Amino acid sequence: MVSSEPDAPKGLPSNFVWGFATAAYQIEGGVNEGGRGPCIWDKFMHLEPSRTNGVNGDVACDHYHKLEEDLDLLAKYGARAYRLSIAWSRIIPLGGRHDPVNEEGIAFYNSLINGLLARGIQPWITLYHWDLPQALHDRYGGWLNVEEVQKDFGRYARVCFERFGDRTKNWITLNEPWIVSIHGYSIGIDAPGRSSTNKLCAEGDSTREPWIVAKALIMSHARAASLYNKEFKPTQGGSIGVSLSGDYFEPWDPEDPRDHEAAERRMEFQFGWFANPMMLAQDYPAPMRAQLGDRLPAFTDVELALLREAQLDFYGMNYYTAQFARHRSTLAEEIDYKGNVDELSQNNVGVPIGEPSGIWWLRPAPERFRKHLVRIYKKYGKPIYITENGCPCPGEEKMSKEESVKDEYRQRYFATHLDAIVGAIQDGVEVAGYFAWSLMDNLEWGLGYSYRFGVTFTDYETLERTPKESALKLRSMIEDRMST
């Protein structure tokens, strides 16, 4: 790929926000330094036998000690913005609303924010990217206690708004609450690893806990967004949103109306589950109520009023891939969380949704990305920021540094997905920004360090960072697609 694409479609606004994204636990390390308390991932990654391929996040990319070097990388790549997350237990080690604030943690994030601004890069801060303080899980069950956890999250959000909001103007309350609920409390492959269907898990109830956790996340989000709107936005002048994840679904058999319904139902179980309450201050989607009944906790009038106060400025979209949905003729199992559909990578005549990537679940489908943007914008009417988008190249987990940096596959992925954004803008969608996942190869949660999503090669032995070609070309890819 050349650094300039004169034939690239035009349509990105000149003020289009773009940059790279990371999450605290995936890159920071320094887990026992600077007054940080343990989070649920610290405990989960040290379980015996290992549930995380024998690795942990104690060092990760050592961003805690390599902060200036990583900020220089962002500047070298020309980023306008950087999406990061704050580790709750680095700010309030025990997590609770009556627990002490850790000034060393505040100082670390002040250095990060000030370093970004000094380089002309705008910080975009995610308050929660999966790392609940372990003390709150031990104290009252964490996300399983709807009333307690939202009060503690509200206090944590207040501390962040008070201490960082004078310089940080863009806030994301939660990252991917669907993953937190399903991976953590239904199938048990993420912290805290609760499941009644996963034989490795000692505790959990997959029929009920995910729905309780989701309500706790929704109401915690509402507390933080309402607080920001009432007490901080008038003086700080920032914006607040949420980042929701999920695939776009096509009908497995385009001629079967039941598969069309299945595709829509699958997306309602993924996006509508959170977006209906968060974006519209409404109950969960009707297909969820029909299937799950009273296992879905109801919203009270007081809670709906709080959700209305938690008006959001944007929809953060984490998008990677698409799938086909096929209806099932049998009744939904009690443990089902997909809307009683089969998820498939090929349709009824064997056509794949996209070519393979470097990880089994991701197949590029940029034309479906465009459809997804249109669908979400029509339903929720908020400006959309792509808060994550990226891929590992095929075979990249086995490549040398020299091979990995020549990441033509990733460059093509970025280019085609940026083309899809231009197409969606032509369709009338307001897409205002794009964050590539990720700034550097990092800890892919339970999968460990094998899969490389970064635009920077990380040598996990030496912790040396080496820019891949995509890191140096993303700026021109975006500028080539700007209208002016």
Q: Report the distance separating Cα 446 and Cα 460, nearest Å.
A: 16
Tell me the pLDDT tens digit for each residue of 72-87.
999 999 999 999 999 9
| Domain presence at residue 113 | yes
DSSP state of 445: G
Q: Report the distance separating Cα 119 and Cα 79, nearest Å.
A: 9
Tell me the pLDDT tens digit for each residue of 335-366.
999 999 999 999 999 999 999 999 999 999 99
| Domain presence at residue 3 | no
| Domain presence at residue 321 | yes
Q: Report the distance separating Cα 184 and Cα 127, nearest Å.
A: 18
Q: What would the mean pLDDT of 443-467 be, rounded to a whole number?
A: 98
| Domain presence at residue 11 | no
Q: Report the distance separating Cα 337 and Cα 287, nearest Å.
A: 11
pLDDT at position 3: 52
Phi-psi region of 2 (alpha: psi -120 to 50; beta: other; left: phi over 0): beta
Look at residue 239 and give its three-state secondary structure. strand
Q: What would the mean pLDDT of 34-63 be, rounded to a whole number?
A: 98
Q: Which of 482, 318, 455, 465 minimizes the C-alpha distance to 20?
A: 455
Q: What would the mean pLDDT of 456-482 be, rounded to a whole number?
A: 98
Q: What would the mean pLDDT of 117-143 be, rounded to a whole number?
A: 98
| Domain presence at residue 4 | no
pLDDT at position 1: 38
For 257, the token pair is 């109306």
Q: Which of 182, 150, 313 minimizes the C-alpha distance to 243?
A: 313
Cβ atoms 20, 435 nearer than 8 A: yes
| CATH number, position 85 | 3.20.20.80
Q: Which of 113, 303, 102, 126 minimizes the C-alpha distance to 219?
A: 303
Tell me the pLDDT tens digit for each residue of 405-414.
999 999 999 9
**% of the chain exceeding 70 in pLDDT:** 99
Cβ atoms 152, 95 nearer than 8 A: yes
| Domain presence at residue 10 | no
3-state SS of 420-437 is: HHHHHHHCCCCEEEEEEE
At 33, the pLDDT band (50, 70, 90 cuts) reads: very high
Catalytic residue ranges: 176, 388
Q: Report the distance separating Cα 82 and Cα 18, nearest Å.
A: 8
Which residue range is the domain that position 313 belongs to? 17-480
pLDDT at position 92: 99
Which residue's structure tokens are 């912790």? Answer: 463
Cβ atoms 285, 273 nearer than 8 A: yes
DSSP state of 346: B
pTM of the model: 0.98
DSSP state of 112: H
For 409, the token pair is 């596959």
DSSP state of 275: H
Q: In whole angstroms, how far apart are CA 39 and each of 438, 470, 482?
A: 22, 33, 41
Tell me the pLDDT tens digit for each residue of 174-203.
999 999 999 999 999 999 999 999 999 999
| Domain presence at residue 5 | no
Q: What is the mean pLDDT of the chain?
A: 97
Cβ atoms 332, 341 nearer than 8 A: no
* Number of independent structural domains in the chain: 1
For 275, the token pair is 């977006």
Phi-psi region of 3 (alpha: psi -120 to 50; beta: other; left: phi over 0): alpha
Tell me the pLDDT tens digit for each residue of 230-245.
999 999 999 999 999 9
| Domain presence at residue 313 | yes
pLDDT at position 5: 83
343 phi and psi angles, rounded to 5 deg: -105, 130
